[in-house]
Amino acid sequence: MMVTVKYFAGIREAMGVGSELRNTAAATLGQLRDELVALGGAHAESLARGKAVRLALNQVMSDESAALPEGAEVAFFPPVTGG
């Protein structure tokens, strides 16, 4: 299925793109994250397990167990801190 993956802040800088259309077999957000990490390079470095990464599904904050529907918009971004 096709999903739109968006990257924000430092993750976007590392990826070199703000978004991409991706064909995935993932059923959940966590599985999509694992697929992206398996690509290696910037994907693996930015989205690796153990890295603090927030996820949103169709503009709603979600955890990695959320089901991934066809045509979804998934966003990855680092946690935001105030100052």
The CA-CA-CA angle for residues 52, 77, 75, to 5°, reads 125
The confidence band for 64, taking pLDDT boundaries of 50, 70 and 90, is very high
Q: Looking at residues 39-46, what average pLDDT do you find?
A: 95
Element (H, E) at 19: strand 19-23
The CA-CA-CA angle for residues 48, 60, 3, to 5°, reads 60
Other CB atoms closer than 10 Å to residue 60's CB: what's the count? 9
Domain 2-77 fold is: Ubiquitin-like (UB roll) (3.10.20)
**Radius of gyration of the chain from Cα atoms?**
12
From the list 3, 5, 73, 76, the residue with the least C-alpha distance to 46 is 76
The confidence band for 17, taking pLDDT boundaries of 50, 70 and 90, is very high
The domains of the chain are located at 2-77
The confidence band for 12, taking pLDDT boundaries of 50, 70 and 90, is very high
pTM: 0.92
pLDDT tens digits for range 28-42 = 999 999 999 999 999
Q: Looking at residues 69-78, what average pLDDT do you find?
A: 96
